[in-house]
Amino acid sequence: CIKNNQWKYVTHSLFYPNYNNIVKSIKKWCHKNNYFFIIKNKAKYEKSTSQYNKEADLVIKDSSEKWFPQTIFEIAKLSDIVINFISSGTYDIIASNTFNISINLMEIDMTSKPSYFFKKEIYEYKGVSVFKNYKEIGKFLENSKLENFTINKNNQKKYIKKYLGQNDRQASKRIIDYILKNS
């Protein structure tokens, strides 16, 4: 049974995007631009690691033994660009001074979802992040130049203030001051 005319999700599931094609288009673009292509795979997707080993220059898996900082944030800090599939890590990627490209795999209508997490502006923010549908990512990268993916410092500051709050590196001090004042 399909409720509320949600047929598009059924057809989408039948014709779900081919990860291999997405990965190959990213690899092609990276190598064309002399980028080292790293795939950070989640441990729960262990089966796909062997396929990724054929495509990426390096495959890194999440380690359940390590909680913080997560592997993706360490990689992001060292990277020029991070490409992900609608990730809450986008905030940290942008805060780490790395340009973000988010790929929408589900064709989610970001304008009608009530969830805070599904606001398109989180992933499409001029000068810090772009948001592309999986069907267009290959063509988008093919037609993009490296300078298109440079962090705009002013927009990064606005993004951080809007989505992460204060970024004055004084959070620990404020917490300690609060505890001392209220204990």
pLDDT in tens, 97-146: 999 999 988 766 656 555 666 788 889 999 999 999 888 999 999 999 88
User: Could you tell me if residue 127 is inside a domain?
Assistant: yes
Are 86 and 108 in contact by the 8 Å Cβ rule? The answer is yes
Average the pLDDT over 64-75 and give the result: 70
Number of residues assigned to the chain:
183
Give the domain extent around 85. 7-181
Percentage of residues in the chain with pLDDT exceeding 90? 36
Average the pLDDT over 63-83 and give the result: 77
Q: Where are the alpha helices (DSSP H) in 62-114?
A: 71-78, 90-95
Least confident of 63-67, 73-77, 124-128, 136-140: 63-67
User: Could you tell me if residue 118 is inside a domain?
Assistant: yes
Predicted confidence at residue 113, as pLDDT, reads 55
Average the pLDDT over 14-34 and give the result: 83
Higher pLDDT, 76 or 1: 76
Residue 53: name the closest of 65, 41, 35 by CA.
Answer: 41
Are 52 and 23 in contact by the 8 Å Cβ rule? The answer is yes
User: Could you tell me if residue 58 is inside a domain?
Assistant: yes
Q: Is omega for the bond preceding 17 within 30 degrees of 0, making it cis?
A: no
Here the tokens at position 112 are 């009608």
Average model confidence (pLDDT) across the chain: 81
The count of domains in the chain is: 1
User: Could you tell me if residue 1 is inside a domain?
Assistant: no
The reported pTM is 0.77
In degrees, rounded to 5, the angle at the alpha carbon of residue 170 between the alpha carbons of residues 169 and 173 is 145
Here the tokens at position 46 are 């262990």
CATH number at residue 156: 3.40.50
Predicted confidence at residue 36, as pLDDT, reads 93
d(CA 70, CA 115) in angstroms, rounded, equals 24
Least confident of 63-67, 104-108, 146-150: 63-67
d(CA 24, CA 30) in angstroms, rounded, equals 10
User: Could you tell me if residue 148 is inside a domain?
Assistant: yes
Higher pLDDT, 134 or 166: 134
Predicted confidence at residue 54, as pLDDT, reads 82
- Does residue 15 have a pLDDT over 70? no
Predicted confidence at residue 45, as pLDDT, reads 64
User: Could you tell me if residue 2 is inside a domain?
Assistant: no
